[in-house]
Amino acid sequence: MERTLFFSGNEAIAHGAVRAGAAFACGYPGTPSTEILQTAARLDGIHAEWCVNEKVALETAVGASLAGVRSIVTMKHVGLNVAADPFMTLSLTGVNAGLVIVSADDPGMHSSQNEQDSRAYAKFAKVPMLEPSDSQEAYDFVAEAFALSEEFDTPVLLRSTTRLSHGRGQVIPRVPVVLGPRDYARDIGKYVMVPHYARMRNRLVLERLQKLRARAEESPLNVLEAGTADVGIIAAGVAYAYAREAFPKAWFLKLGMSHPLPYRKVARLFRQVSRVAVVEELDPFIEEQVRALGLPVVGKEAIPADGELDQDIVFRALEPFLSRRPPRRRRPVFPPVPRLADPPPAPGLPVRPPVLCPGCTHRAVFTALRTHRLAPMGDIGCYTLGALPPLLALDSCLCMGASIGMMAGFNQALGRKAAAAVIGDSTFFHSGVTPLIDAHYNAADGLVIVLDNRTTAMTGHQGHPGTGLRADGSRGPAVDIQKLCEGIGVRCHTVDASDYGVLEAAVKAEVDAPGLGVVVALAPCVLMVPEKAGEIVIDDERCNLCGLCLDVGCPALARGEDSVSIAGSCTGCGLCTEVCRRGALSFAGATGAGTAGEGAP
Amino acid sequence: MSVTTTVSLVGVGGQGILLAAAILAETAFAEGLDVKASEVKGMAQRGGSVLSTVRFGEHVWSPVARYADVVIATELLEGHRGLGLLAPQGTLVCATTTRIVPGSVLRREEEYPDDLPGAAAARGARLIAVDAEALAREAGTLRAVNVALLGAASVVLPFAAASWQRGLAAAVPAKILEVNERAFALGRGAVSNEEVGP
């Protein structure tokens, strides 16, 4: 047996992560969470990085998890607000390798601007919440959290509080967890949260919550501890330690996994004793759920709802209640399993999903990117439609601005340029700048393609800082994306997206170049360019229906009987003439033969 | 028809479903009725299916309804889909000569449905088939397919001609009002009472 260690909760979490096989850690400093990552950075076998903020940290960790590496993200409670956007949808996509988010609450606000209770986020996102009560549990629960994450395909929240993070206790080290490889497999239905796929994943989340509750009922993390007094206490986290010291003879239901709540274990405690109290720091999170079962408890009418607890506060608060006449015994009423909405009827008719517009120049980016073996991390905008058939050109869509952080984490985890990021101009300004700064700062490898169509197209052409167009139609200063990137220190090229040869060459150059680079593919949204660029014609003799032009996914092109047919919706963008190897597609009036096909993939 | 009448308008993004719905709502207002409406349009600009629902009556509570008394479809496949939204004995008014073929059909993964009259009969629905493209062209612009079809549907809707006129004037931009009035009149004239039946 190795010697017993004396760790703070934060040190224990870091060591526990390494012991659990986590190889990627990131976060943003915030009291009382900071020392977790500081400790991890000193340990072997785990890559640790400070990120620019908690949102980027979570997205980076998601990228590393997708790449197949167990990842842990650390932040203080209010940091989870910043990370809430990726967090809420991460619940739907789930993970590849396990992903654990540590949120450290600060009851008493020793150094915080509010006193929010992170457990509300577990309920909000329908993910499990683990609450260790001392350093040993902090160390052990991290491995439990990773195992749950992979078994149930969910991120797992681990709540610390100031006294756990900054308290110290003995830790007996455990045998390191040995992990098999967890290769990345592209799965658009799981990782690209466009409405159609998100609806399907959401149903799985609701079912997963029921399975997690069944697990909470049998999990050794939730222990019913026999006492000798006719008093039961339900507690989690460090509050358990206070209550245990204050009432040594009481029965305890110790919840290591406080969400979802194991209803039947709660009911079992009520069968053992005639009075039950819930002891928890901050919100009546457990208490409200117990009351909803119709079971009488003592809770926040006695235990302060603000500030820190200790054994003295707990004893003085509960003593008068527990010596009173016990309430009438009641039978619990377990909540029903919620029903899900009727699934939509099987279509039976051809579906009509939204598509990239005919003539959308940015379609060319997907054509240029597809020849390289990079996992394209996507973002939110028209171009997310590139994930749908026939292009199938994006691997992920998590939330606004997530593409760059996910790319960085993916590449950091694998130690090479394995993923690219595809993001629109408006999305880039929304939240793509911070992860670019982060990727540069942490020396992540990668290729970011900004699809700059000079507008916020998906929602109907609103202005953004890159255009300077304001809501009232007036013009303000326009921010230059290339100058912005160069100001950060990132290599950046702006190319005309309508010139396929130039675009393809720029993408290839960045794929081959070391380190991080940005290509701004510039071409205005085709819906803002009313006039037709030219008439495309097909030479039936030359067309052999090879399908290369159909692969660009333009709705104006269709497979005809003997040759490809061109619909009236064609805008004459000419991308199909670029990819055709036989010179069958050309602009009317041009010679057609010989010129087209150069530089085709 | 029930106390509250529901009309659903279905089509493909860019076909002017929302404008047609606005005209219908304004017409109902002109009749002194209460109106509620809702639309799903987030993907409208990207060639996806668009659904707009207009409900009118003495007092309307809900902005949506699972089934419609009348479905107006600006495209044939969407007309087929619209049958699923139709209440028993409802009427489908469909631009049966307008086909906008979705990608899955272009790629030959799915088949474009045929025989709308058969499908409507199987469901017990009344079908009013309209060559709205021809009417819109005659009116002066192909873009008026939506309004030509609304003209055809007006035959089965309980509004006075004057109310339709006020509805058009209120919802259609002045610049294109005239051509749309022509399209509406052509659509209304194209459906004889005989065709509508009892």
pLDDT in tens, A459-496: 889 999 999 999 999 999 999 999 999 999 999 999 99
d(CA B184, CA A558): 33
pLDDT for B92: 97
Nearest chain B Cα to A566, which residue? B106
Distance from CA of A287 to the nearest CA of B (A): 37
Provide the number of CB pairs (under 8 Å) joining chain A to chain B. Answer: 65
pLDDT for A261: 98
pLDDT for A353: 82
d(CA B21, CA B150): 9
Does the CB of B62 have a partner CB in chain A at under 8 Å?
Answer: no
Contact across the interface for A460 and B12, Cβ inside 8 Å: no
Contact across the interface for B48 and A353, Cβ inside 8 Å: yes
Report the CATH fold assignment for A222-322: Rossmann fold (3.40.50)
List the beta bridge partners of residue A518.
A448, A492
- A118 burial (CB, 10 Å; 0-12 / 13-18 / 19+) is buried
pLDDT for A316: 97
Is domain A363-528 in CATH 3.40.640.10, yes or no? no
Per-residue pLDDT tens for A146-197? 999 999 999 999 999 999 999 999 999 999 999 978 999 999 999 999 998 9
d(CA A179, CA A20): 9
Q: Beta B86-95 vs B68-73: how paired, if at all? A: parallel
d(CA A456, CA A123): 33
Contact across the interface for A559 and B13, Cβ inside 8 Å: no
Mind giving me the DSSP string for chain B? --SSEEEEEEEETTS-HHHHHHHHHHHHHHTT-EEEEEEE-TTGGGT-EEEEEEEEESS---S--SSEEEEEESSHHHHHHHHTTEEEEEEEEEETT-----HHHHTTSS-----HHHHHHHTT-EEEEE-HHHHHHHHT-GGGHHHHHHHHHHTTS---HHHHHHHHHHHS-GGGHHHHHHHHHHHHHHS-HHHH--
Residue B139 one-letter amino acid: A
Position A531 pLDDT exceeds 90: no
Report the CATH fold assignment for A536-587: Alpha-Beta Plaits (3.30.70)
Residues A83 and A39 sit within 8 Å (Cβ to Cβ): no
d(CA A167, CA B50): 58
Residue A2 binned pLDDT confidence (cut-offs 50, 70, 90): low
At residue A582, φ and ψ (nearest 5 deg) are -110, 5
Chain A residues with CB under 8 Å of B48 CB are: 352-355
Q: What is the mean pLDDT of residues A387-392?
A: 88
Per-residue pLDDT tens for A394-452? 999 999 999 999 999 999 999 999 999 999 999 999 999 999 999 999 999 999 999 99
Does the CB of B85 have a partner CB in chain A at under 8 Å?
Answer: no
Position B132 pLDDT exceeds 90: yes
> Sign of dihedral through CA atoms B146, B151, B154, B155?
negative
Does the CB of B47 have a partner CB in chain A at under 8 Å?
Answer: yes
Does the CB of A553 have a partner CB in chain B at under 8 Å?
Answer: yes
Give the single-character DSSP code of A479: P
Residue B155 binned pLDDT confidence (cut-offs 50, 70, 90): very high
Which helix (H) or strand (E) segment holds residue A263: the answer is: helix A263-272
User: What residue ranges do the domains of chain B occupy?
Assistant: 5-133+157-172
Contact across the interface for B104 and A385, Cβ inside 8 Å: no
The percentage of residues in chain A with a pLDDT greater than 70, rounded to a whole number, is: 97
Does the CB of A530 have a partner CB in chain B at under 8 Å?
Answer: no
Does the CB of B182 have a partner CB in chain A at under 8 Å?
Answer: no
Q: What is the mean pLDDT of residues A551-569?
A: 84
Contact across the interface for A354 and B101, Cβ inside 8 Å: no
Tallying the residues shown for chain A, one arrives at: 601
- Closest residue by Cα to residue B18 from B4, B43, B38: B38
> Sign of dihedral through CA atoms A164, A169, A170, A173?
positive
Per-residue pLDDT tens for B58-105? 999 999 999 999 999 999 999 999 999 999 899 999 999 999 888 888
Residue B193 binned pLDDT confidence (cut-offs 50, 70, 90): low
- Closest residue by Cα to residue A436 from A482, A497, A501: A482
pLDDT for B84: 93
CATH of domain B5-133+157-172: 3.40.920.10
Please count the other Cβ atoms lying within 10 Å of the Cβ belonging to residue A376: 24
For A108, residues 6+ apart whose C-beta sits below 8 A from its C-beta are A115, A162, A307, A308
In chain B, positions 5-44, which contact chain A (CB-CB < 8 Å)?
Answer: 12-13, 42-43
**Which pairs count as long-range contacts for A178-186, CB under 8 Å and 24+ apart, including other chains?**
A178/A21, A179/A21, A179/A70, A179/A97, A181/A68, A182/A68, A182/A69, A182/A96, A182/A97, A183/A68, A184/A66, A184/A67, A184/A68, A184/A96, A184/A375, A184/A410, A185/A96, A186/A375, A186/A395
Q: Beta B68-73 vs B49-57: how paired, if at all? A: unpaired
The rounded mean pLDDT for chain A is 94
Angle at B163 between CA B161 and CA B169, to 5 degrees: 105
Q: Fold identical between A222-322 and A363-528?
A: yes
- Closest residue by Cα to residue A277 from A258, A259, A303: A303
Position A370 pLDDT exceeds 70: yes
User: What residue ranges do the domains of chain A occupy?
Assistant: 5-180+193-209, 222-322, 363-528, 536-587
Nearest chain B Cα to A381, which residue? B43
Nearest chain A Cα to B85, which residue? A345
- A572 burial (CB, 10 Å; 0-12 / 13-18 / 19+) is middle
Q: What is the mean pLDDT of residues B114-129?
A: 94
Mind giving me the DSSP string for A98-159? -EEEEEEE-TT-SS-S----THHHHHHHT--EE---SHHHHHHHHHHHHHHHHHHTS-EEEE
Q: What is the mean pLDDT of residues A550-563?
A: 84
Q: Distance between alpha carbon B167 and the CA centroid of its chain, in Å?
A: 15
Distance from CA of B33 to the nearest CA of A (A): 31
Q: Closest to A355 (Cβ–Cβ): which among B46, B110, B113?
A: B46
Cα dihedral A111/A112/A114/A120 (nearest 10) = -110
List the beta bridge partners of residue A159.
A103
Per-residue pLDDT tens for A20-76? 999 999 999 999 999 999 999 999 999 999 999 999 999 999 999 999 999 999 999
For A561, residues 6+ apart whose C-beta sits below 8 A from its C-beta are none
At residue B42, φ and ψ (nearest 5 deg) are -55, -35
Does the CB of A460 have a partner CB in chain B at under 8 Å?
Answer: yes
The percentage of residues in chain A with a pLDDT greater than 90, rounded to a whole number, is: 83
d(CA A289, CA A259): 10
Per-residue pLDDT tens for A586-601? 998 765 444 433 333 3
- Closest residue by Cα to residue A257 from A162, A135, A145, A97: A145
Contact across the interface for A385 and B46, Cβ inside 8 Å: yes
Q: Closest to A382 (Cβ–Cβ): which among B46, B80, B111?
A: B46
Superfamily for the A5-180+193-209 domain: Thiamin diphosphate (ThDP)-binding fold, Pyr/PP domains (3.40.50.970)
Which helix (H) or strand (E) segment holds residue A82: the answer is: helix A77-82
